[in-house]
Amino acid sequence: MRNKSNVNVYDYKITEFAYLPKLEEKLAMLAEMIRDEEEFLKKGKKRLQNYFFSVFELAQKNNFLVKSAKGNHIALNLGVRSNGGAEIYAIFAPNNTRGKQKYYLKGFFKSSDNNVMSLFGERHVPSNSQKRPDYYFEKLIFDTEHMVARDRDEKRNLQAITGCSEKELFTILRNKENELSTAIRDNSNMLIPEFYCGEIMYLWPVTIAKGRKSVDLVLAIQGKEKGVFRGNTLITKEMAYGKARVCSSLEGTWLAEDKVFKKKRSLFAWLKKS
């Protein structure tokens, strides 16, 4: 049963929901608060802002925005922690000054902050990672024409990265359809959710090999109907990490940050040892 203190504001975007004064300054403070291990989020103001906006949008979908005891403040769990292990919240207060928004972004605070504790007491503020995946996997199908067209339209340069022509990439993907379908069905708990264009999709590692060259990429999978998923597009691990981090911490997964940005270890080699 849903917590009655949760706020269902899914129809809003964050800029419609809240006035965001001095956002750049507050994001800089947030970057200082986040634990050192979150290297991906701490580098680049735009990256952290996109993360914040996406976490908010997904929390709306999950109904995870929580009202204070008096009902006039809202807490959003950002799904990140401080070096001391405290959860970090975005706190929205009543907007009585500017704009039409009901709230304004008061700032980012540790869950242990006295102001947060006085407003929310022992109320649970869930993070998006606490949302249980809702899927049943039976079969993977590829729309390879769509995948290659997406790469071309969005200028992802997968041909340059893999050393494959469009036709070669098309053939490799077709040949992997049954292999990947079996692997995912047998290990579906290793699918990693990502939040993309307002919906949950799932990620799976794919190695594209041509001759002696092999490249580790990520297959984005979209649920189409019960048990049937479509291989939607191929992306790099760096592209996948930011959108997946919105949904969960990724620690202990094949997309863990050190494996994405520091180690050049094969994803399949890692999977075999797990």
Asked if residue 28 is part of any domain, the answer here is yes
> Which of residues 129, 153, 185 is at a domain's end?
129
* Residue 1: per-residue pLDDT: 36
Asked if residue 163 is part of any domain, the answer here is yes
Q: Are residues 141 and 258 in the same domain?
A: yes
Query: Six-digit token pair at 44?
Result: 């680049």
Asked if residue 40 is part of any domain, the answer here is yes
Rounded to a whole number of angstroms, the CA Rg of the chain reads 20
Q: Are residues 32 and 114 in the same domain?
A: yes
Asked if residue 16 is part of any domain, the answer here is yes
* Residue 163: per-residue pLDDT: 81
Q: Are residues 198 and 238 in the same domain?
A: yes
| Contacts of range 43-47, beta carbons closer than 8 Å, 24 or more positions apart | 47/242
Answer positive or negative: Cα dihedral of 196, 199, 204, 208. Answer: negative
Domain of residue 260 covers 137-273
**CB atoms inside a 10 Å sphere around CB 252:** 7
Report the alpha-carbon distance of residue 123 to residue 94 in Å, rounded.
Answer: 19
Q: Which residues contact 49 (CB under 8 A, 6 or more apart)?
A: 23, 27
> Which of residues 95, 129, 163 is at a domain's end?
129
* Residue 30: per-residue pLDDT: 95
Q: Are residues 18 and 112 in the same domain?
A: yes
* Residue 269: per-residue pLDDT: 42
Asked if residue 101 is part of any domain, the answer here is yes
Query: Six-digit token pair at 64?
Result: 């995870």
> Which of residues 129, 147, 167 is at a domain's end?
129
Q: Are residues 12 and 124 in the same domain?
A: yes
30 φψ region: left (φ > 0), alpha (ψ -120 to 50), beta (else): alpha
Q: Are residues 108 and 148 in the same domain?
A: no
Unique residue bearing structure tokens 């094949």: 254
Q: Are residues 144 and 268 in the same domain?
A: yes
Q: Are residues 124 and 176 in the same domain?
A: no
CA dihedral 173, 179, 183, 186 (to 10 degrees): 140
Asked if residue 114 is part of any domain, the answer here is yes
Q: Are residues 48 and 147 in the same domain?
A: no
Global model pTM greater than 0.85: no
Mean pLDDT by 10 residues, the chain (274 residues): 47 81 94 88 84 93 91 94 93 85 94 92 87 73 73 70 79 82 82 88 86 80 78 85 91 77 43 40
Q: Are residues 14 and 125 in the same domain?
A: yes
Asked if residue 174 is part of any domain, the answer here is yes
Total tally of structural domains belonging to the chain:
2
